[in-house]
Structure 1
Amino acid sequence: MAESLKHKAADSLPTDDEAQQQNANTSSSILPSHHSGATKEVSDTDSTEAGEGLPYSPFSTKVKVMVVVITALTGLVSPLSANMYYPSIQTVRSDLHTSQSAITWTITAYMIAMAVFPLVWSNLADQIGRKPVYALSMIIYTCGSIGCALSHNLAALIASRVVQSAGSSAVQGAGAGTISDIYPREQRGTALGIYYLGPLLGPCLGPLIGGYIGEDIGWRWVFWILAIWGGVMALLAIFVLPETHRRLVAKKHKIQQVNIPPPLRLKDNNPLLDIATARYPAVAAALFHFAMIFGSYFTNATGQPLAYENVYGLSPGMSGVCFLASGIGCIFGSTSGGRVTDIMLKRKKRALIAKMQGGEEEAKAIRVPAEARLEVMWIGTLLFLCGLIISGWLIDKKLSLAGVLVMQFCIGAGMAFTFQSLGSYLIDVFPSMSARITGVQNFWRSAWGAVIVQVFPTMLSNIGWGWSYTIMCFLTVLSFAVMQCVVFKGEMLRRRFGPPTSI
């Protein structure tokens, strides 16, 4: 898996020559523009303070690829931990002599911790750097996984799952910040596409791996294998992964003074302040759509083993194989979504330059509004909605399993494509706090995911698969409709209501 990610990253990510060419267009300070749809800025290449002729990042292409691969593999830890457990949950319930309603708290507690702890980790990552956060979090995660493997009662398992989630959730916030550290805005979408492969593959690979492990050698070995994975990631973070935080890197290397946040004090590590970014209308709309897409996707992922085993009569192992459909969709949507958003950004900039009347220096200072990232988001959302509602009714009517798998591919591809647009947009809006804004989006989507996962079994028993999926589609359509206000009026909303640091 690591080699596959590395080769994919090497083929997709920009080379050093491409980076130098595009770095010339990266800007530092923002001034109002008289040209519609653009922001005129002081170019880095024209400002000594910004770093004339300096690279955006001091790392070579090979080092950047390595950073992206390690970050993606670390990001795989959290969703793997959540999803490898699902196929064995009935066996765990039987071994621990507990009820169905009680055992679901091992899932809910994990989701709640995954919502809260990234806010703390992402603040720490912006204060002390990415490397120590990765190392410490993976050590905590490994300890939590060992605790799960050794648990002999429900209380111990729930407590260990919280520790496991607390450790694994660090990269949910710090990961996107790491990508923002080493890639400028024009290249960031593609790099984020490679990074998101890790977190997005977990929901499909987890049940596949966990199903066969649980069947063959027992559910405790699911957690022992996760502990080994966490230990390997901790060693990579300690001995291989370089520090990428731009403020810390700038102390050792001459780089462009772009997206370098001021030093933060430990007392400023207040997650409530980060959550409050939802007070900005444009940000709130993006977080709302994030939450609805993720909640529906996560609920679908948790419900699929039940559908495959109870409706279509598959074994836990074969049920896990079926998750490959959404996993392949995630790969397609993540890689293509990142590339498309980067292409759209560059094309929009060329169009704005063509409309301008000015010299070459003025053209270099043009920066496309962040909302350009959202212009193709509808493709992913439409694909996601079609896959979700058709899949739900196919299962409800016990129709073609092949049709369900095709729709699962659409769900994975649509979700990943949409996440690319939304994630890149929020990072562009908060360029100097990329890790923290990623922690915020993770908080809202995980909180909603924890709620809907608890409600979903009741929905299934009362209204069935078809109408349950229809309700999730309705909520996603609602959030998409709200998001259209940002697509068409987002720049105006940000100028009027904030955030003040936005592009």
Structure 2
Amino acid sequence: MGISQKPLTTPKGENHGKDSFKEKDSSSQSLDQVGYRTQSDDTDNDSKRPSRDVVVSVDEAGDLETVTRVSSGPAYTVFSRPVVRWIIAMNCVSGFISPVTANIYFPSIPSLSEDLGVTIGQINLTITTFMILQALAPTFFGDFADAAGRRPAFILAFLIYLGANIGLALQRDYVALLILRMVQSAGCSGTLALAYATVADVAPSSERGKYMGIVGGGLTVGPAFGPVIGGVLSQYLGWPSIFWFLCILTVVWLVPYVLTVPETGRKVVGNGSIPPHGWNMTLLDYIRFKRQGRVEAPSTHIRQKVRFPNPLNTLAVLRNKDMAVVLLYNAAIFIGFITFTATLSSQFSKIYHFNDIQLGLCYLPIGGGTAVASIGNGYIADWNYRRIAKKMGFSIDRKRGDSLRGFPIEKVRLQLIYPLVGVGTAVYIAYGWAIHYEVHIAIPLVLSFFVGVCVTGPFQVMNMLIVDLYPEAPATATAANNFCRCILASISTAVIENIIDAIGRGWAFTLIALLFSASSPALWVIHKYGPTWREERAERTIRAAEKKAEEARAKEVAQVQK
């Protein structure tokens, strides 16, 4: 598939007042790194690109209602619309693979227990260890992807995943199952941090919602369709066929990705205008460049140094007050979703005595709800962005991206969550008491659809906000999000069956609903204090960049004097 690109234009801007600023140095670049600019190149290679001017005008009182913006400079991305859609589609599929892997063998748990001669509890331990690696793996892959690029990270993750699936299909031992499921999780879970980061690479804030909704749709329907696929395969072909299916799915995705999907990492290719090199090139580009005798990047391009991934960079995200509150609230919401899907098959099996296929089909309503929530909220988020921007007199630049300085992005995103949390809490409690009293199957299935809409909806919107607040390293920020939610989710899935046995289904689900609803004041905290904390983070980043620039100049002067 050929990769067509739009021509890179660099019109010259003008300075319109004392509140205007130009992106001439590293301190200016740092504004990109705290969400104040989402323009075309928050990279280490700004000095090699044409300059551009960005104007932000604010009245003396700093009233947000009078914020205006004039922008000129390179496009946010040079990739054409068809290429962007192709990138998003491939990321949607990659996002689907990780959650479908986590859930695809739920219906085969009884068969695995019988064939391997172990208890159901021991098989459930493989779910817990899977989720622990699901929390840890993105901390490596996210940091690696922000430094080396998206393509190397995707390819490495899926090669690990492919090898683990082959081993799982061939193994017949519990210890091998436990270890290989962890390796499998390390491979597929690494892509969780990459999918949303790629969206941030190619979509400005004003259009990010719909694309993140599409990618999020792949992430959220996986837990629903995984058990359906796994139930059919386990019932008719045996549980090893599940892992052979995942091998086939991996190869079907990996081949076109290696051949055609371009590098989007902004620290590697900027807005797409910097030619990639080495393994950042698609295979078709590599063959074409080799024939032309120019496989290497131009000599004017400064190569990004690839270092060993540091997971502590992911944990460092939590040192920022705004990010810490957002990530912890998102984790609380995710507990509600994961405990629901983890217990659905076991509870329905006890109550309604369904077989593997029937249990898999019971996940379809919540899968439909999550798809509706993810895609629908994406479009609504973009609409709300335009609505508030129009109300403020804020000029949206879809070509070059918007400066978020002075723009209440927290308000734009969080307004969508409040009604969902209220309705979701009520529906979640109703579901718990419906299965407690073992009512007709239609009632919990209908309620599960609305759980999918109202409980998964909020954390999809929060995922957008996370990328908006941390555009300089979106993969690292997404990895931090995944780390927080998976650690808490692994604990909750390990104890939820014991809680149900101790206090009953109704009170267990009521307790979980009250847990994430009691966390909702965090939304008010983000709404009220988030912009201030973001401003403080910007100032810290600017001071750090200025200090670094001064040290570099002093070092140059010392070398000249020698």
Calculate the TM-score normalised by the size of structure 1. Answer: 0.85
Q: After the TM superposition, which of the residue ranges 86-95 and 492-501 deviates more from structure 2?
A: 492-501
Aligned equivalents of 1:77 and 1:426: distance in 2? 22
**Is 2:65–2:391's contact at 8 Å kept on the other side of the alignment?**
no
For 2:504, what is the secondary structure of its paired residue? helix
User: Which residue of structure 2 lines up, in the alignment, with residue 376 of structure 1?
Assistant: 416
Determine whether 1:128 maps to 2:155.
no
User: Which residue of structure 1 lines up, in the alignment, with residue 63 of structure 2?
Assistant: 36
Match of residue 173, structure 1, among 184, 193, 210: 193
Match of residue 419, structure 1, among 456, 459, 462: 459
Aligned equivalents of 1:200 and 1:451: distance in 2? 20
TM-aligned CA distance change 1:354 to 1:274, over 3 Å: closer
For 1:269, what is the secondary structure of its paired residue? coil
User: Which residue of structure 2 lines up, in the alignment, with residue 83 of structure 1?
Assistant: 103
**Is 1:137–1:167's contact at 8 Å kept on the other side of the alignment?**
yes
Aligned equivalents of 1:80 and 1:342: distance in 2? 28
**Is 2:377–2:457's contact at 8 Å kept on the other side of the alignment?**
yes
Aligned equivalents of 2:418 and 2:86: distance in 1? 32
TM-aligned CA distance change 1:452 to 1:251, over 3 Å: closer
Aligned equivalents of 1:345 and 1:251: distance in 2? 23
Determine whether 1:465 maps to 2:505.
yes
TM-aligned CA distance change 1:364 to 1:432, over 3 Å: closer
Q: After the TM superposition, which of the residue ranges 365-374 and 434-443 deviates more from structure 2?
A: 365-374
**Is 2:425–2:514's contact at 8 Å kept on the other side of the alignment?**
no
Give the deviation of 1:265 after TM superposition: 4.7
**Is 2:143–2:313's contact at 8 Å kept on the other side of the alignment?**
no
Aligned equivalents of 1:500 and 1:67: distance in 2? 34
Q: What does residue range 289-368 of structure 1 map to in structure 2 within 5 Å?
A: 289-353=329-393, 368=407
TM-aligned CA distance change 1:216 to 1:199, over 3 Å: same
Give the deviation of 1:277 after TM superposition: 1.8
Letter of the 1:120 counterpart: F
For 1:179, what is the secondary structure of its paired residue? helix
For 1:76, what is the secondary structure of its paired residue? helix
Q: After the TM superposition, which of the residue ranges 335-344 and 483-492 deviates more from structure 2?
A: 483-492
Q: What does residue range 396-411 of structure 1 map to in structure 2 within 5 Å?
A: 396-411=436-451
Q: After the TM superposition, which of the residue ranges 237-246 and 489-498 deviates more from structure 2?
A: 489-498
TM-aligned CA distance change 1:156 to 1:41, over 3 Å: farther
Residues 307-366 of structure 1 show CA distances to partners (whole Å, capped at 9, x for unaligned) of: 2221122222112112110111011101111111111111111111189xxxxxxx9997
Give the deviation of 1:421 after TM superposition: 1.8
Give the deviation of 1:453 after TM superposition: 0.3
TM-aligned CA distance change 1:127 to 1:263, over 3 Å: farther
**Is 1:43–1:364's contact at 8 Å kept on the other side of the alignment?**
no
TM-aligned CA distance change 1:93 to 1:365, over 3 Å: closer
Aligned equivalents of 1:365 and 1:428: distance in 2? 9
Aligned equivalents of 2:55 and 2:190: distance in 1? 31
Letter of the 1:36 counterpart: D
User: Which residue of structure 2 lines up, in the alignment, with residue 60 of structure 1?
Assistant: 80
**Is 2:67–2:394's contact at 8 Å kept on the other side of the alignment?**
no
**Is 1:119–1:271's contact at 8 Å kept on the other side of the alignment?**
yes
**Is 2:55–2:71's contact at 8 Å kept on the other side of the alignment?**
no
User: Which residue of structure 1 lines up, in the alignment, with residue 261 of structure 2?
Assistant: 241
Determine whether 1:386 maps to 2:420.
no
Give the deviation of 1:384 after TM superposition: 2.4
TM-aligned CA distance change 1:126 to 1:42, over 3 Å: farther
Letter of the 1:222 counterpart: I
Q: After the TM superposition, which of the residue ranges 296-305 and 372-381 deviates more from structure 2?
A: 372-381
User: Which residue of structure 1 lines up, in the alignment, with residue 493 of structure 2?
Assistant: 453
Structure (1/2) with the larger helix percentage: 1
**Is 2:330–2:462's contact at 8 Å kept on the other side of the alignment?**
yes
**Is 1:290–1:422's contact at 8 Å kept on the other side of the alignment?**
yes
Aligned equivalents of 1:403 and 1:305: distance in 2? 16
TM-aligned CA distance change 1:229 to 1:30, over 3 Å: farther
**Is 2:77–2:271's contact at 8 Å kept on the other side of the alignment?**
no
Aligned equivalents of 2:269 and 2:394: distance in 1? 36
Letter of the 1:80 counterpart: V
Give the deviation of 1:496 after TM superposition: 4.6
Aligned equivalents of 2:196 and 2:447: distance in 1? 28
Aligned equivalents of 2:524 and 2:91: distance in 1? 32
For 2:458, what is the secondary structure of its paired residue? helix
User: Which residue of structure 2 lines up, in the alignment, with residue 193 of structure 1?
Assistant: 213
TM-aligned CA distance change 1:354 to 1:242, over 3 Å: closer
For 1:87, what is the secondary structure of its paired residue? coil
**Is 1:295–1:452's contact at 8 Å kept on the other side of the alignment?**
yes
Q: After the TM superposition, which of the residue ranges 364-373 and 288-297 deviates more from structure 2?
A: 364-373
Aligned equivalents of 2:71 and 2:501: distance in 1? 59
Aligned equivalents of 2:155 and 2:168: distance in 1? 20
Determine whether 1:481 maps to 2:521.
yes
Aligned equivalents of 2:436 and 2:467: distance in 1? 39
For 2:118, what is the secondary structure of its paired residue? coil
**Is 1:327–1:412's contact at 8 Å kept on the other side of the alignment?**
yes
Aligned equivalents of 2:413 and 2:84: distance in 1? 23
**Is 1:336–1:417's contact at 8 Å kept on the other side of the alignment?**
no
Residues 445-499 of structure 1 show CA distances to partners (whole Å, capped at 9, x for unaligned) of: 0111110000111101111111111111111012212222112332124335779
For 1:155, what is the secondary structure of its paired residue? helix
User: Which residue of structure 2 lines up, in the alignment, with residue 22 of structure 1?
Assistant: none
Letter of the 1:336 counterpart: G
Aligned equivalents of 2:425 and 2:319: distance in 1? 27
Aligned equivalents of 2:488 and 2:328: distance in 1? 10
Letter of the 2:469 counterpart: V
Give the number of equivalent residue pairs: 460
Residues 87-113 of structure 1 show CA distances to partners (whole Å, capped at 9, x for unaligned) of: 101110111111232222211111000
**Is 1:40–1:365's contact at 8 Å kept on the other side of the alignment?**
no
Residues 63-110 of structure 1 show CA distances to partners (whole Å, capped at 9, x for unaligned) of: 111111110101111111111111101110111111232222211111
Match of residue 155, structure 1, among 175, 179, 183: 175
Aligned equivalents of 1:285 and 1:457: distance in 2? 29
Larger Rg: 2
Query: Runs of 4 or more off by more than 4 Å in structure 1?
Result: 25-33, 38-43, 262-268, 363-367, 496-502
TM-aligned CA distance change 1:27 to 1:154, over 3 Å: closer
**Is 2:101–2:226's contact at 8 Å kept on the other side of the alignment?**
yes
Match of residue 428, structure 1, among 459, 468, 471: 468
Calculate the TM-score normalised by the size of structure 2. Answer: 0.77
5+ residue gaps, structure 2, are: 1-5, 7-35, 40-53, 276-301, 396-401, 543-562
TM-aligned CA distance change 1:380 to 1:314, over 3 Å: same
Match of residue 218, structure 1, among 238, 259, 266: 238
**Is 2:221–2:371's contact at 8 Å kept on the other side of the alignment?**
yes
**Is 1:292–1:475's contact at 8 Å kept on the other side of the alignment?**
yes
Letter of the 1:221 counterpart: S
